[in-house]
Amino acid sequence: MREWWRDAVIYQIYPRSYQDSTGDGIGDLNGITQRLPYVASLGVDCIWLSPIFTSPQADMGYDVSDYKDIDPIFGTLDDFDRMLAKAHDLGLKVITDQVLSHTSDKHPWFVESRQDRTNPKADWYVWADPKPDGSPPTNWHSHFGGPAWEFDAVRGQYYLHNFLSQQPDLNFHNPDVVDAILDTAAFWLDRGLDGFRLDTVNYYFQDKHLRSNPAAKSGPQVMATDLYGMQDNIYNKNQPENLAFLEQLRALCDRYNDIMMVGEVGDMGQRSIDLMASYTKGSSRLHMAYSFAMLGPDFSPKHFRGCIEGFQKGAPDGQPEWSFSNHDVPRHVTRWAEHAVSEDAMARLACAMLMSFEGTIGIYQGEELGQTETVMEYHELTDLQAIRFWPGVKGRDGCRTPMVWEHDADNAGFTSGTPWLPIKAPQAAHAVSHEEARNDSILHFYRETITFRKSHPCMTRGKTAWIDLPDPIRAFTRSVDDQHLTCVFNLSKDKTTLAQQGDASLTGPHQATLAAGTLDLPGNGFAFLDHSAPITLKG
């Protein structure tokens, strides 16, 4: 029997920005429950909830202080159970964001660990002595600026934090830590959860000998404010011990029915594709993985083909998840604006292309509305990374602003209070109420395209064969048995014409015309060609 996640479309919900049910300006679990019929109407299979666990919220829940409870700003365990039951009634699976590589510095484990060097949890975090000159043990950088080490005056040692100093890294070399983490996972599986999205899945282990990283071979990355990219990060993540832990976590999940784990590979370029392949290879590791490979500015045919082809070659039996947007990067309609005829044209092209990829698909809330990045002012920021490096770094608040439901309602229907992030006119213009009222809206297009993906065997089970065409065209054929679907995308603003030979017909959603062997694609146009025998396309 084919697993449910193989062909799934996963819808990411950022809980504090989805729907507020209490008027405090922050979205919550009861608000999500209220909106689940809308989510189900999209035709998606599963929702991924960003962190909802008890947290001081220094990094919006990615600093967990209790893995087995719900943060009060989101509700209670009973609220979670009701939300889960409602989702299941609507045919939706639910997975949660599990932040396992680090905790909050307010977690009882860390509070005990920092007391001295001999307590029962003294070795539960990555502690190290200063160098003789008092400097940090290694040259590793934090993603949020400065060294990845924070000196603690109580222990007289440094502790590792790959992110904020309030997010100390757990020591997975300690088997007691592994056992404790597995116990927290079992808690949620026993509650009926359908799986996990594993945050920073390649950060669990660091080099046991704490060796410093060499300089990046290709030189500094574009965003010079993030010194992390100036190193070849080979010792602070991506360690081989990760695989053994993933196998333990998979063994736990396999004791339950229909559980899925998807891991976020926090890396860029070919290394991220290689890690995706390694982490999903066989049947004893992750069910699937996704990376930031398609979450950057690159919008070239070569890039998209390289990501998919690289994964296929590296893990022919593995499963990828492909996404264009999430809570950590600018929304793709804005990110790829220089290639767009219009915002709507880019939203349609991106949707059609994403839904055609072989693997599991992830979409981020608001993406189905053609939502754009919110332009933030300094006084509106909550993201500590942006506050520290402004204006060199705009931060992540721009993609995290609240969901817009009713265009004419206060705060677009998100809250009766003051929203935690502003809802501005360009975003309110994409409200669900407007999108529902227009037959040609992006929302209806997403529903149509998701339905098409699910109904066509080539889209769900077809293998991919690439077609060599000149830029800016990206084309491939997906085939199963004697059915073939050729997918063609124009990644530029200029119209283009292709010669087509063979018996084929346009099917599904498209922005193209096919007549007398000529396929005309407007700027940002796309086409799905149905055929039972091979066809050819020439530029």
Catalytically active residues, by annotation: 199, 264
Cβ pair 537, 500 in contact under 8 A: yes
**R_g of the chain computed on alpha carbons:** 23
Residue with tokens 């290639």: 339
Q: What is the largest CA-CA distance in the chain?
A: 80
| 409, HSE (Cβ side, Cα atoms, 13 Å) | 15
Q: Are strands 526-531 and 505-506 parallel, antiparallel or unpaired?
A: antiparallel
Q: Are strands 149-152 and 53-54 parallel, antiparallel or unpaired?
A: unpaired
Cβ pair 167, 200 in contact under 8 A: no
Contacts of 77 (CB under 8 A, 6+ apart): 69, 70
Helix 269-280 and helix 241-253: axis angle, to 10°? Answer: 50
Which three-class secondary structure string do you get for 216-260?
A: CCCCCCCCCCCHHHHECCCCCCCCCHHHHHHHHHHHHHCCCCCCE
Residue 122 has what DSSP assignment? T
Report d(CA 274, CA 142) in Å as an integer.
Answer: 23
Nearest C-alpha neighbor of 259 from the set 189, 336, 168: 189
> Would you call the peptide bond into 509 cis, given omega within 30 degrees of 0 as the criterion?
no
Residue with tokens 């082809």: 309
Cβ pair 365, 14 in contact under 8 A: yes
